[in-house]
Amino acid sequence: MSDSKYVLGLDYGTDSVRAVLVDTATGTEVSSHVFYYPRWSKGMYCDARVNRFRQHPLDYLEGLEGAVKGALASGPKGAASKVAGISVDTTGSTPVAVDKQGVALALRPEFAENPNGMFILWKDHTAIAEAAEINRHAKEWGGEDFTRYSGGVYSSEWFWSKILHTLREDEAVRDAAWSWVEHCDWIPAVLTGVTDPAAMKRSRCAAGHKAMWNELWDGLPDETFLASLDPLLAGLRERLYRETHTADLKAGGLSDEWAGRLGLRPGIAVGVGAFDAHMGAVGGEIAPYSLVKIIGTSTCDVLLAPSDELGDTLVKGICGQVDGSVLPGMIGLEAGQSAFGDIYAWFKQLLLWPLTLLGEQPGLDADAAAALEQTLADRLIPALSEAAAAIPPGETAELAVDWHNGRRTPFANQALKGALCGLNLGSDAPRIFRALVEATAYGARLIVERFREEGVPIKEVIAIGGVPKKAPFVMQVLADVLDMDIKVAKSEQTVALGAAMFAATAAGLFPSVMEAQKAMGSGFDTVYSPDPASAARYRVLFEKYRHVGDFIENNLTE
């Protein structure tokens, strides 16, 4: 390790892809670059009114090239020749229909503008009805309950729900789709040139958490189960996969084509892909019984447990427990919230709506109006946070429920809606904002309580992502509500750093991911500790949140 060797970690998020160039000897992030998806940023192919969120594969391919070239350009001279490997994490479940060659349908001319031929983003909830059918069928068909390692509840955010909905909705896609591929599997396949759906290496993380894959039933759910759920699924299982692979393994070597496009050496290691939360947990230095919260537009919570200690425990209501989904040889348990930062963004847009009228004012310069709107947009959340922080917990009666995008955990239910209650004529924007922040913290506590109720301990909480880095008010409320210290990872790009750790392992620079984690970890730079008085008040307010949530679920669910 005396000569500098670098690896690239690629983190495909909801809005952008970021590439981080990391020195494997020290874990130093020597350069990085963020590429924002151009089509997604324009709102193309999405319709929030019907919960449809799609991303064009060209955004991903252009982002791959732009992010990697940008990171190399801002890195040390000659760094490209010293890159030993590259690994990728993505959001999920984000599947796409592909043809026999593994080409995403939207890359074919006839599907170029068809949202059903694009990647179905994790937050797409068009398949709520299909998820409900899968849950009923799993309990009633007379055989194995294939949801039992997925928390017992299958979600509309996941693989099979989205596939079934698309097959039912779009005959042209149904006829052209040979197989389906997760985003985290497709990018490594593209990089290695092994795009044949039957030959590409599939992620253990994605398959186990989102597609009901398990060794106990020889892989994916039984053909009889799928065909009896809907004949449209008949025969698909054999065109998908049987084997899955952990992310410490090599998917293949970088192809000549993509080596040329990226400016890297052909043949360098390309690691098996995984989901952002799971690689991010490794970048955040997860250890047994650490709860790593990846907090951004939504949250994904990852807990690690030794398989011999977890034993036969099945945690109900979470997003799955999978052997090797985080670190080989251990059980990765996943939970999360369908909206976190997205709720603050919603409230921000709500308050900013009157500014859309500025352009209609006679005599007002359009550039000046746009500049004013941007200034207010930039200042709004920090100003609300400052004002809300001055309001003691429980001083006013405003209470929110954070199900604006449904509920992921515990017990996924995307049909649920958010709520505001306890309003009066004195309820102003800071008080409502505080209620929304508290609601997201209560949602986080529900997850902690779910693990504890099943006998799974949580020894520490680690936070990574955008919110922990830029929202101290939110993080303090979260620490108070959880009544636990929260350590914030030092790295600005912890998820991409986790991908880099896997890349270094796949390239053979470390014997295990744990060794890569020790050498390349960035440590922590902030700890939020609970205020005892606030934590006591929140124990009472949390119970009120639970009661209001129960009422909504029992009486107001669509």
Domains and CATH numbers, the chain: 6-119+165-209+245-284+492-520 (3.30.420.40), 341-490+525-555 (3.30.420.40)
Residue 38: name the closest of 24, 26, 56 by CA. 56
- Determine the Cα–Cα distance for residues 290 and 295; give it in Å rounded to an integer: 15
For residue 195, the number of C-alpha atoms closer than 13 Å in the C-beta half-sphere is 16
Letter for the amino acid at 478?
A: L
In degrees and rounded to multiples of 5, residue 166 shows phi and psi of: -70, -40
Quick check: 59 and 159 in contact, CB under 8 A?
no
- Determine the Cα–Cα distance for residues 218 and 503; give it in Å rounded to an integer: 28
Q: Look-up: residue for tokens 């997760």?
A: 182
Residue 299 CB partners (closer than 8 Å, separation 6+): 293, 336, 337, 340, 444, 465
What confidence score (pLDDT) does residue 357 get?
A: 85
Cα 204 vs. chain centroid, distance in angstroms? 16
Strand, helix or coil at 395? coil
- Determine the Cα–Cα distance for residues 90 and 271; give it in Å rounded to an integer: 13
- Determine the Cα–Cα distance for residues 432 and 398; give it in Å rounded to an integer: 6
What confidence score (pLDDT) does residue 3 get?
A: 67
What is the C-alpha radius of gyration for the chain, rounded to an integer number of angstroms?
A: 23
- Determine the Cα–Cα distance for residues 135 and 133; give it in Å rounded to an integer: 5
- Determine the Cα–Cα distance for residues 287 and 342; give it in Å rounded to an integer: 29
Residue 341 CB partners (closer than 8 Å, separation 6+): 295, 296, 297, 298, 466, 467
- Determine the Cα–Cα distance for residues 418 and 28; give it in Å rounded to an integer: 42
Paired with 6 in beta bridges are 23, 83
Strand, helix or coil at 316? coil
The strand pair at 54-55 and 119-120 is best described as antiparallel
What confidence score (pLDDT) does residue 549 get?
A: 97
Cα distance from N-terminal residue to C-terminal residue, the chain: 58
pLDDT in tens, 23-72: 999 999 999 999 999 999 999 999 988 999 999 999 999 999 999 999 99
Q: For the chain, which ranges sit under pLDDT 70?
A: 1-3, 558
What confidence score (pLDDT) does residue 1 get?
A: 38
